[in-house]
Structure 1
């Protein structure tokens, strides 16, 4: 996904929270010889207390034009979006689950504090129809929006959760990427 950007306090939209997409979802897929497990369950809600994110999740599929451009820009809202052509969290997950949203300049947004408050070791809870899933943040990094489509974040990693938003210190040039792994019980 290309970087997510924030907007200004005016009526203009946030800086492009465009996500640069790889050529196709799960392009690094490795064939499996085992019987397929259920693929997980769609994410419905995310709670990331450390950054003040407590948000319903809306599914979002890239349009054909966005796929051709290799970039997706979520609607200019304060919502959290799940890139539904990729993975679903939970038992049997076959790919990474991507949640994206805009950070906004000059107005509150659920994603604004990720740039300054997210840290490795933080806990994230994702609610699905199958129940609550706990994740632990492995890393927090920035990525240039124009190189994001070639990033390793697009490698197929079953069970992994990635949050993408614009980087508050450079809303138009960089995204912040939070990578998390499921908690083992």
Structure 2
């Protein structure tokens, strides 16, 4: 994957090679990763009032391109725009998102929701010398906190599994690029070493 870096900003992301992670092939509205949750029936007991009762687990919305991401514990609530790595990005294994406060979804990989086939990667800039939403990802206390990813199909709930740091020049070799359906990975620069390290927040669907 390409790296994310920018002058005056702290956002450098190193991408894994494009052939290391299969594309979703479905395009922004329909591609994606995990397996749908199949409703489970509660066994009925003859003669009991609950004999016809059916308990169903909620089925998450179908996989679709993310349009917003929020983490209340980090006071982060931003829109998500599509970003397709160029041939040069993939060749150099580095990528610089647009210099805004928005988040960017890497369209070459997964989309979130039922039927997803890969990890969803969302990147954004941390800013050096000013407050910015992605600055607040550099916080290990976010583990266990809720993440909401919004798509055109609905809202999806996730829980933060880990907050880790990686050297920018080795992030492309990290296992964060392994294919994990319906996992969400947010990447920015680590605020304590914005030019040398990335912070990576991974999240899995909420139980």
* Preserved CA contact (<8 Å) 1:13 1:76: no
SS, match of residue 67 in structure 1: helix
User: What SS does structure 2 have at the residue aligned with 1:146?
Assistant: coil
Tell me the CA shift for residue 182 of structure 1: 0.6
Structure 1 runs, 4 residues or longer, greater than 4 Å off: 1-5
Shift of 1:25: 5.6
Residue 106 (structure 2) aligns with: 83
Superposed displacement of residue 52, structure 1? 1.0
Distance 2:150 2:105 in 1: 13
* Structure 1 match to 2:40: none
**What are the residue-to-residue correspondences of 1:1-185 with 2, within 5 Å?**
1=1, 4=4, 13-15=8-10, 17-24=11-18, 27=21, 39=32, 40-116=63-139, 118-184=141-207
Q: Which has the larger radius of gyration?
A: 2
Q: Distance in 2 between matches of 1:47 and 1:90?
A: 16
Q: What is the Cα deviation at residue 113 of structure 1?
A: 1.2
Distance 1:67 1:38, change over 3 A: closer
* 8 Å Cα contact 1:94/1:157 also seen in 2: yes
TM-score in terms of structure 2 length: 0.77
CA distance in structure 2 between the partners assigned to 1:122 and 1:26 by the alignment: 30
Report SS of the residue matched to 1:133.
strand
Q: 1:68 to 1:170 in 2, by over 3 A?
A: same
**Unaligned 5+ residue runs, structure 1?**
30-36
Deviation, structure 1 residue 47: 1.0
TM-score (norm 1): 0.85
Distance 2:79 2:19 in 1: 23
How much does 1:157 deviate?
0.3
Once the two structures are superposed, residues 75-132 of structure 1 have per-residue CA deviations (whole angstroms, 9 ceiling, x without a partner) of: 1111100011100000000000001001111112111111136521010001111100
